[in-house]
């Protein structure tokens, strides 16, 4: 739980329970620490002390309200990182993020009314029929836990970039989302994927799993060599902010596509509009959506084509979470899983 500016601690809160007919309560088996958690805890945007953080989870349904029909007690499920009603105009289109019922687990009030998070033994899940997806037999917990946020995000980036088979895709940033974007692009038919990252160990990880790697300084030269000087067909910004967008634009070819999945908090950024016009660039943004993409994501992980667990650095018990946050914040680890 949040314990004041920059700190988390382990404590006891009342057990969550079914409050609305469409709620479920899930006993969390695996959860994870995300860059978003580090950001929320460091900046504490409206977070009360004692608030349970975390939004990536897989576990077992232990209770359901009378309005839950898709899941029953004992089912193994993975949760989306945000809630949506499943039946409004947006949800029916598959745009669950736009739902008026959106609440983001464990992050305060930035993306909807606060909803206690999943780095806990139990979590209450509103709109359980839409938010929870069944985990099929044979999908390990350490794989399923990626589906709700980071893998869904990487997959959404690739879908938005829509590379043609064989296209060169550049990924700016080798954090968890960047790494999973690289894997998703490879699984979805891209040709060469170039991951751009300053930290050696993160480049090594991407290189071990199919990417060509480059430092920010040599990225354009590496991509030029691979594309006869054209630039990347699609570039995914997995950093965010003006820095991520500028880096991504610098790598895109004429008529190329830039997709940003990095988190943005700046209100503005100078679009290089003359070039964007002359080169007919496409700029898009994407947010992961498990409720929309669970079908293809589960098919890709079940078949082994997409193997997200390779990015996990360590698995810790709940008692070890405060130290694990510190290691991640110091970039000594990339991604921490929590076994509850």
> Which range in 71-79, 80-88, 238-246, 301-309 contacts Zn ion by CB under 5 A?
80-88
Using CB under 5 A, pick the residue from 26, 52, 99, 306 that binds Zn ion. 99
Which residue in 63, 65, 101 sits closest to 80, CA to CA?
Answer: 101
CB of 253 to Zn ion, least distance (A): 31
CB of 86 to Zn ion, least distance (A): 6
Which residue in 91, 67, 26 sits closest to 289, CA to CA?
Answer: 91
Q: Is 272 buried (19+), middle (13-18) or exposed (0-12) by CB count in 10 A? A: middle
80 binds Zn ion (CB under 5 A): no
Residue that the structure tokens 């949800």 belong to? 91
152 binds Zn ion (CB under 5 A): no
Distance CA(103)–CA(85), nearest Å, equals 10
CB 202 within 8 A of CB 311: no
Residues binding Zn ion: number (CB under 5 A): 8
Residue with Cβ nearer Zn ion (126 or 256) = 126
Q: What number of other Cβ atoms are within 10 A of residue 4's Cβ?
A: 12
145 binds Zn ion (CB under 5 A): no
149 binds Zn ion (CB under 5 A): yes
Strand-strand pairing, 76-79 and 57-64: antiparallel
Using CB under 5 A, pick the residue from 85, 156, 248, 324 that binds Zn ion. 85
161 binds Zn ion (CB under 5 A): no
88 binds Zn ion (CB under 5 A): yes
CB of 153 to Zn ion, least distance (A): 8
289 binds Zn ion (CB under 5 A): no
CB 314 within 8 A of CB 321: no
Residue with Cβ nearer Zn ion (38 or 88) = 88
Which residue in 295, 286, 259, 296 sits closest to 95, CA to CA?
Answer: 286
CB of 197 to Zn ion, least distance (A): 19
63 binds Zn ion (CB under 5 A): no
291 binds Zn ion (CB under 5 A): no
34 binds Zn ion (CB under 5 A): yes
Which residue in 277, 202, 286, 217 sits closest to 250, CA to CA?
Answer: 217
Q: Give the interface with Zn ion as residue ranges (CB under 5 A).
A: 34, 36, 84-85, 88, 91, 99, 149
């Amino acid at each position: 739980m949040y314990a004041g500016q920059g700190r988390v601690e382990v404590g006891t809160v009342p057990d969550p329970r079914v409050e609305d007919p469409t709620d479920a309560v899930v006993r969390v088996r695996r959860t994870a620490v995300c860059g978003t958690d580090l950001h929320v805890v460091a900046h504490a945007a409206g977070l009360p002390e004692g608030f349970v953080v975390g939004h990536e989870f897989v576990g077992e349904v232990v209770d359901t309200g009378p309005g839950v029909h898709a899941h029953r007690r004992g089912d193994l499920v993975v949760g989306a990182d945000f809630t949506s009603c499943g039946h409004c105009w947006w949800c029916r289109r598959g745009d669950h993020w736009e739902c008026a019922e959106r609440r983001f687990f464990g992050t305060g009030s930035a993306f909807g009314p606060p909803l206690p998070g999943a780095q806990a033994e139990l979590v209450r899940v509103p709109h359980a029929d839409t938010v929870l997806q069944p985990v099929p037999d044979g999908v390990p917990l350490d794989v399923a836990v990626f589906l709700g946020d980071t893998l869904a995000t990487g997959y959404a980036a690739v879908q938005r970039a829509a590379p043609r088979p064989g296209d060169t895709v550049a990924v700016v940033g080798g954090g968890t989302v960047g790494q999973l974007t690289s894997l998703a692009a490879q699984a979805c038919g891209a040709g060469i994927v170039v991951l751009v990252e300053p930290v050696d160990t993160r480049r090594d990880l991407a290189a071990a799993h199919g990417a060509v790697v480059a430092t920010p300084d040599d990225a354009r030269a590496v991509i030029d060599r691979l594309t006869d000087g054209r630039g990347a067909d699609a570039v995914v910004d997995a950093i965010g902010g003006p820095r991520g967008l500028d880096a991504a634009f610098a790598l895109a070819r004429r008529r190329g596509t830039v997709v940003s999945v990095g988190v943005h908090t700046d209100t503005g950024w100078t679009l290089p509009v003359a070039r964007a016009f002359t080169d007919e660039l496409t700029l898009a943004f994407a947010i992961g959506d498990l409720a929309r993409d669970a079908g293809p994501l589960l098919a890709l992980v079940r078949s082994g084509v997409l193997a997200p667990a390779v990015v996990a650095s360590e698995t810790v018990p709940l008692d070890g979470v405060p130290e694990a946050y510190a290691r991640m914040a110091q970039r000594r680890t990339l991604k921490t899983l929590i076994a509850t």
